[in-house]
Amino acid sequence: MQQKASSQKLPKSAPPHGPWKRVLLKISGEAFCKEGGHGIDAAETNALAETIKGVHEAGRQVAVVVGGGNIVRGAQMAETGINRSTADYMGMLATVINAVALQDALERLGIPTRVQTAISASQIAEPFIRRRAIRHLEKGRIVILAGGTGNPWMTTDTCAALRAHELGAEVLLKATKVDGVYTADPKKDAKAERFKRLTYLDVLNKKLKVMDATAISMAMERSLPILVFDMKKPGNVLRAVQGEDVGTLITND
Ligand code: UDP
């Protein structure tokens, strides 16, 4: 099918501090369950959908990469003796389950969505097609990206950086349990301070546990800003896309 030329236009590059029009939101699997839990918790999933609805209603284009760690983490599963690549494919399938759960929750709120997956699941999701994903975003649909990169030995963080480049997202919003990157674990150390800004090289050199090194390097290549923030704090996602001072912003300088 012939695509309209206009449908492939990406947003003009935005300042590294926001506000951002097209965002790539990375949600880890753990956001789908209660802290320390496993599987899918309906209330947590509905809350995620409500939060994404707020960003959608603020006129932002949102692509969501979902993780699968609440169901299967390949590296951990491999410790039980399962072949690592097989375990990783299981992990990718787990992300499809989360994606469909999120789609259902969003559609119950009346938000149009499409799930695209990097591994075939043709009965429930479209395959990942970059140009089609961009078109969905332009039409105001939330695009939920499942199946990671489709390759074992990789993570959904790396997938998030890759898809952000492909879809022309202006920022990678990395939702975490704490509001940004801290000098120490803020849940254990009352003196821990939040870094407001970091460079990609700070993260790599200090081995800060933000995202895996492949994801950071990939973001660095195109100076894609990464904002690490707490998505469960009320109003935080909206503040994040508006470029307000939440979380930790990672850029080149
Ligand atoms: N995975 C993979 N390739 C990818 C993305 C994910 O093999 O491109 C597998 C890997 O086993 C990983 C699991 O899927 O542990 C779930 O993804 P991830 O651990 O990134 O999820 P999160 O920690 O964000 O919940």
CB 154 less than 6 A from any atom of ligand 1: yes
Q: Which of 33, 40, 95 to mutate to test the pocket of ligand 1 (most atoms within 8 A of CB)?
A: 95
pLDDT in tens, 155-204: 999 999 999 999 999 999 999 988 899 988 888 898 989 999 999 999 99
Q: How far is the CA of 89 from the centre of ligand 1 (A)?
A: 9
pTM of the model: 0.93
Indicate the range of 13-22, 75-84, 96-105, 158-167 predicted with least confidence: 13-22
Alpha carbons within 13 angstroms on the beta-carbon side of residue 246 total: 26
Peptide bond into 11 cis (omega under 30): no
pLDDT in tens, 214-243: 999 999 999 999 999 999 888 899 999 998
Alpha carbon dihedral 42, 129, 27, 193, in 10-degree steps, equals -170
pLDDT in tens, 51-70: 999 999 999 999 999 999 99
Mean pLDDT of the chain, nearest integer:
92
Tell me how far apart the alpha carbons of residues 57 and 192 are, in angstroms, rounded to a whole number. Answer: 35
Ligand 1, atom 23, lies closest to the CA of: 69
